[in-house]
Amino acid sequence: MKKIVLTLALAFVATVGFSQTEEELKGQLGAAKDSIAAIQGRADAIQGAIDALPGWKKGAFGTIGANLSSFNNWYGQGTPDLSSGNIGVTVNAFANLNQEKFFWRNSGNINLGWVKFDDKNDDTDDDSFKQGTDVFNISSLYGRKLNEKWAISGLGEYRTTILNNFNDPGYLDLGVGATWTPIADLVVVIHPLNYNFVFSNNDAVFESSLGAKIVADYTRQIGAVNFKSNLSMFQSYKSGDLSNLTWINSFGYTLWNGIGLGFEFGLRDNKQEALNFALTDTPTETFDTVDNKLQTYFLVGLNYSL
């Protein structure tokens, strides 16, 4: 009986001791997390002060996504001998100059993709990689500062594809107005006087026009995280059919030596492009009848940051 009581007592003491140790460890962990948060807060404040200093700020990060596969005699699927692949590359870069009386912000985005679906038993099948995603955007914004938040500005922005149908269509926006910078990493462009030049072989669909340009760009690096969101809108004064919108969001997380994980998502609304595509199958299509669906793409893969 004494042995049983002694065993129970030892078990109770061990349990209490373990509980106390666990509580102590949890308390230490909480204190450590608070310390990390405080250190990160100070680091962010220092980085914000650095970003606000005059001079050039440059950077770039990109994502590579790839999926390659090959099947031989895999009878469980409809195409037992198959070679397929999907490759995507995206690059975001910026070079910004900030001075006491003016700023000059330059940025570029490229997203290229290729896809392949080859039936090895079909000699007429195309076994090459075909062009998939094709996005090319560059912009340059110059502003003369009125105060810390507002500036009189001029913007040039060019958008097109480069793998297929280069500059067909191509869009060049040139305009003037105001730029609002509420915080160091956010830039909002409001240009009520903007001309949207459209270059294309199909003049019956694509048309240049005068309108208003709005751009919102948020670019931020916090430790190992790179983030960029760019919204570009043009509202034509002539017709809503000539308006367009593009919104691209890029995210990169660095894990080791600049290498990490990346994600990019983009969407676009452009009725001129929708009509030009629909006319291939339906020559009688018009702006009033075309189904202008929202254009989207995404890419997930490895990320590299410079």
Give pLDDT, residue 141.
97
Supply 39's token pair: 């250190």
HSE-up (13 A, CA, CB side) for residue 212: 8
The class level of CATH for 56-305 reads: mainly beta
**Sign of the alpha-carbon dihedral angle for 117, 123, 127, 130:** negative
Residues 6+ apart with CB under 8 A from 102: 142, 143, 144, 145, 151
- pLDDT at position 267 is 93
Identify whether the C-beta of residue 112 lies closer than 8 Å to the C-beta of residue 118.
no
Do β-strands 186-199 and 170-183 pair in parallel, antiparallel, or remain unpaired?
Answer: antiparallel
DSSP string, 135-177: EEEEEEEEEEESSSSEEEEEEEEEEE-SSSSTTTTEEEEEEEE
pLDDT tens for the 306 residues of the chain, in order: 555 555 555 555 455 555 557 677 667 777 766 666 677 666 666 666 666 667 888 888 888 888 778 888 787 777 888 888 888 888 989 999 999 999 999 999 998 988 888 888 888 877 788 887 888 999 999 999 999 999 999 999 999 999 888 899 999 999 999 999 998 889 999 999 999 999 998 888 999 999 999 999 998 888 888 889 999 999 999 999 999 999 999 988 888 888 888 899 999 999 999 999 999 889 999 999 999 999 998 888 888 876
The domains of the chain are located at: 1-53, 56-305
Separation of alpha carbons 107 and 205, rounded Å: 29
pLDDT at 2: 54
CA atoms of 96 and 130, how far apart (whole Å): 35
Cα 119 vs. chain centroid, distance in angstroms?
34
Distance CA 222, CA 254 (A): 11
DSSP-derived pairing of the beta strands 244-256 and 295-305: unpaired
For residue 98, how many C-alpha atoms fall within 13 Å in the half-sphere facing its CB?
A: 15
